[in-house]
Amino acid sequence: MGELDQYLFGQGTHYEIYKKMGAHFVKDGKKSGVYFTVWAPHARSVSVIGEFNGWSEDANVMKRQEPLGIYTAFVPEAQLGQLYKYCIETQTGDKLYKADPFANSAELRPGTASRIADISHLKWSDSVWMKHRAEWDFHSSPISIYEAHIGSWMRHPGREDEGFYSYREFAHAATDYIKKMGYTHIELMGISEYPFDGSWGYQVTGYYAPTSRYGTPEDFAYMINYFHKNKIGVILDWVPAHFPRDAHGLADFDGTATFEYADPKKGEHPDWGTKIFDYGKAEVKNFLIANALFWIEHYHIDGLRVDAVASMLYLDYGKEDGQWIANKYGSNENLEAIEFFKHLNSVTTGRNPGALMIAEESTAWPKVTGKPEDDGLGFSLKWNMGWMHDFTEYMKLDPYFRKGDHYGMTFALTYAYSENYILVLSHDEVVHLKCSMLNKMPGLGFEKFANLKVGYAFMMGHPGKKLLFMGQDFGQLREWSEARELDWYLLAEPEHQALQNFYRDLLHLYTHNKAMYEQDTCMEGFEWVNADDSSRSIYSFIRHSKGAKKNLLFVCNFTPIERPEYRVGVPRGKQYRLVLNSDELQYGGSGKARPAVYKAKKQECDGRPYSFGYDLPPYGVAVFEF
Show which residues are catalytic.
307, 360
Tell how strand 597-599 and strand 575-581 pair up: antiparallel
What length does the chain have?
626
Residue 193 has φ and ψ, to the nearest 5°, of: -55, 140
CB 27 within 8 A of CB 3: no
Query: Which amino acid does the sequence have at 284?
Result: V
371 torsion bin: left (phi>0), alpha (psi -120 to 50), beta (else): beta
Taking the alpha carbons at both ends of the chain, their separation in whole angstroms is: 64
Question: Cis link prior to 240 (omega < 30° from 0)?
Answer: no
Cβ neighbours of residue 184 under 8 Å, at least 6 residues apart? 142, 143, 144, 145, 232, 233, 511
Other C-beta atoms within 10 Å of 395: how many? 22
Amino acid present at 115: R
Pairwise CA distance, residues 451 & 435, whole Å: 15
Residue 333 DSSP one-character state:
B
**Omega into 67 within 30° of 0, i.e. cis?**
yes
Quick count: other Cβ atoms within 10 Å of Cβ 579? 17
Strand partners, 64: 71
Instruction: Decide: helix, strand or coil at residue 543.
Output: strand
Specify the 3-state DSSP secondary structure of 457. Answer: helix
Residues 389, 393, 397: CA angle, nearest 5 degrees: 170
CB-CB contact of 375 with 534 (8 Å): no
Q: φ and ψ at 313, to 5 degrees?
A: -75, -30
